[in-house]
Structure 1
Amino acid sequence: MRPETERDLAEAIAGANGALSIRGGGTRAIAIAEGEALETGGVSGITLYEPGALTLVAKAGTTLGEIEAALDAEGQRLPFEVPDLRALLGRTGETTIGGITAANASGPRRIASGACRDFLLGVRFVDGAGTVVSNGGRVMKNVTGYDLVKLMAGSHGTLGVLTEVSFKVLPRPETSATLVLQGLSDAAAVAAMSKALGSPFDVTGAAHDPAAGQTSLRIEGFEKSVAYRLEQLRALFADTPSIVAEDGAAHWAGIRDVAPLQGRAGDVWRISCKPSDAPDLAATLGAEALLYDWGGGLIWALMPGGSDARARLGAFAGHATRLRGSSAAPAFHPEPAPVAALSAGLRARFDPRGVLNPGLMA
């Protein structure tokens, strides 16, 4: 099914006799739920864009390309640097703003600016009973009760099917620069990234590629400010060999899209942890390739097919998600019992029939 309007989508859900597998652009789904496919790409279009108010409203099926083109024409951008995981996950299609929101998809800039959910102002969605629900609006304000704006970000279509989202956007910086430290071990790289992020130089990206021996630090802003802060960063790491990346945009696109793990057989795991724990956790994985982002708070790991990263890691402060692979382990990290009870209660409230991506996040 591919409804063209919110009303048609609501009627499709209300009339469903069984499970529905919710799909946006099909570019980043961690797992495909069983059931009849319900595509949201037909409900598309930018409904409001006010550059002066830094506000954009779009229907859920609107492609990221259309949104970025509109923003770029006004010198603005989505602040959270949406990753393109098609090459990593072996997917095709066009990324939609609804899918981005449902996955809370956020790239390297999250460490400085925040995640997708932090810029989400309002949502409209259809719940499992076929009822249209609206929450939030065009300003950062919420009413008493469920904060549905935050709940829908990262819910992967299990609480409702998004039909419209509202975002705060930001101006595109005048320029950027990337300092690449060379030859650091994983532990030394995490320490360097923490040092840079704790400095007064407004680092907006901190990542480490062990195979390349590169630790990347990004700064953005006005040209004179960037030039000054770049020199200060170089002085901060004067004892470490370094270069300045020639094409910073391409460099960070590779980090954002996890290029070191692309085109390689095996299972892909995404591990969120305390940065200080990252080197030891990575050492226990036995991964075939690694990429650290968010100053070490995010580990991308390429594992042998069928590997259970959680079993190798044991108990740790964080969670591990399988994005691609053949492991029998659940894709999503099991929730602690109290959190699982809350999640089940929310699903019972918003999808009492259990038709929206059933079992996907269980």
Structure 2
Amino acid sequence: MRPSTETELAEIVLGAAGPLFIRGGGTRAIGRTAGDPLETAGLAGVRLYEPGALTLVAGAGTPLAEIEAMLAGEGQRLPFEVPDMRGLLGRDGVSTLGGMVAANASGPRRIQAGACRDSLIGVRFVDGAGQVVKNGGRVMKNVTGYDLVKLLAGSHGTLGVLSEVSFKLLPMPERTVTLALPDLAPARAVEAMAMALGSPFDVSGAAHWPGRGTFLRIEGFEASVRYRTARLRALLARFGEAGEVDDPWAEIRDVAPFHAKAGDVWRLSLKPSDAPAVAERAGGAALFDWGGGLLWVLCEAGTDLRGRIGPFAGHATLVRGTPPVATFQPEPLPLAAIAASLRARFDPRGLFNPGLMA
């Protein structure tokens, strides 16, 4: 099923006799779920683009590449540096705005600009009763009751089927510089990244790629970038000489070190200071992003990584692989009860990607 209008989408949901597998472009879905495929790629097209207001409204099925090309033509971008998961997951297909929002897909710039949900200012979606729901708008504002804009981002299609999304945008920077420190031990690298991120020099990327280096990014106006780069170099002198390098951020964003490598891939969100010890317990290969707050781990197929590393302050998501464990971190009972209540409220018949996040 591939509706081309919001009305058709609502009719399909209203008439559904069983579970639906919600699919955008099929490039970043994780986990397993049952149901008849419901594709949102037909809900495409830019509804509103106001470069002067840094605002975009588009159908959920709009290809991400089209949007990025259009914004680049106006010297603008989505703030949160969207990862391309096709190489990591071995997928073809075309990434869509709705799939991006459903996964809350956010790259290295999240530490400065926030996640996808932080730039999302409005949504339209169809709930499990076949009703069209709208929340938010073309400007950021407070709302009463549910903040559905934040709820839908990262819900992986379990609360409703997105039909339209609205974003605030940012201008492209005039200059970008990436500094690389010599390859450091993970604990030392996290210390260096914490110092850089805690500085007044507005670092927009901080990642450690074992065997290759520790990378720090500064963006903005030419004169400002030149000044901040020199000051950051001096601040980090104790960690070694920081030299300018070619842009590694697309590879870090897309977890390129693990492409075409055998094994399971896990994504851990945790305290940056805990990342080196957790990576050591995990074994295998690791990639540190967000100053250490995001840890990617490649390990043997079938590994129960949560059992191997033990309790930690954070959560681990199985992004690639099929061991006999839940894709998403099991939630504490009070939080699980709230999540179940939300799913019952927005999808009372249990139609949307059943069991995926339960």
TM-score between both structures, scaled by the size of structure 2:
0.98
Q: Which amino acid aligns with 2:172?
A: R
* 2:236 maps to 1:258: no
Q: Deviations over 1:117-145 (max 9, x none)?
A: 00111000000111100001001113311
Query: In structure 1, the residue corresponding to 2:237 is in which secondary structure?
Result: coil
1:253, 1:326 → 2: CA distance?
Answer: 26
**Number of matched residues?**
358
Instruction: Report the Cα offset of residue 183 of structure 1.
Output: 2.4
Alignment of 1:102-121 (within 5 A): 102-121=102-121
2:224 corresponds to which residue?
A: 225
Alignment of 1:187-198 (within 5 A): 187-198=187-198
* 2:283 maps to 1:286: yes
Contact 1:104–1:116, Cα closer than 8 Å, also in 2: yes
Q: Which amino acid aligns with 2:222?
A: E
Instruction: Report the Cα offset of residue 315 of structure 1.
Output: 1.2
1:5, 1:244 → 2: CA distance?
Answer: 52
2:205, 2:245 → 1: CA distance?
Answer: 16
Q: Deviations over 1:135-159 (max 9, x none)?
A: 0100111331111000000000000
Contact 1:119–1:167, Cα closer than 8 Å, also in 2: yes
* 2:152 maps to 1:152: yes
Alignment of 1:1-362 (within 5 A): 1-212=1-212, 214-248=213-247, 251-287=248-284, 289-362=285-358
Q: Deviations over 1:245-299 (max 9, x none)?
A: 4422xx1101111111111010000000000000011110012x11000000000
2:187, 2:246 → 1: CA distance?
Answer: 27
Percentage identity across aligned positions?
67
Q: Deviations over 1:327-359 (max 9, x none)?
A: 111000001100100000000000000010000
Query: In structure 1, the residue corresponding to 2:44 is in which secondary structure?
Result: coil
Query: In structure 2, the residue corresponding to 1:239 is in which secondary structure?
Result: helix
Query: In structure 1, the residue corresponding to 2:327 is in which secondary structure?
Result: coil
Contact 2:282–2:308, Cα closer than 8 Å, also in 1: yes
Query: In structure 2, the residue corresponding to 1:100 is in which secondary structure?
Result: helix
Query: In structure 1, the residue corresponding to 2:317 is in which secondary structure?
Result: strand
Show structure 1 runs of 4+ deviating over 3 A.
239-246
Could you tell me which runs of 5 or more consecutive residues in structure 2 were left unpaired when the two chains were aligned.
Answer: none
1:49, 1:239 → 2: CA distance?
Answer: 47
Instruction: Report the Cα offset of residue 201 of structure 1.
Output: 0.7
Instruction: Report the Cα offset of residue 232 of structure 1.
Output: 1.0
Instruction: Report the Cα offset of residue 243 of structure 1.
Output: 4.7
Query: In structure 2, the residue corresponding to 1:230 is in which secondary structure?
Result: helix
Contact 1:177–1:244, Cα closer than 8 Å, also in 2: no
Q: Deviations over 1:153-176 (max 9, x none)?
A: 000000000000000001111011
Contact 2:181–2:214, Cα closer than 8 Å, also in 1: yes
Instruction: Report the Cα offset of residue 229 of structure 1.
Output: 1.1
2:231, 2:69 → 1: CA distance?
Answer: 34
1:123, 1:300 → 2: CA distance?
Answer: 30
1:233, 1:162 → 2: CA distance?
Answer: 42
Q: Which amino acid aligns with 1:265?
A: A
Q: Deviations over 1:197-227 (max 9, x none)?
A: 0011110000001132x00000000111111
Q: Identify which range, 166-175 or 239-248, moves more after superposition.
A: 239-248
Contact 2:173–2:220, Cα closer than 8 Å, also in 1: yes
Could you tell me which runs of 5 or more consecutive residues in structure 1 were left unpaired when the two chains were aligned.
Answer: none
Q: Which amino acid aligns with 2:224?
A: S
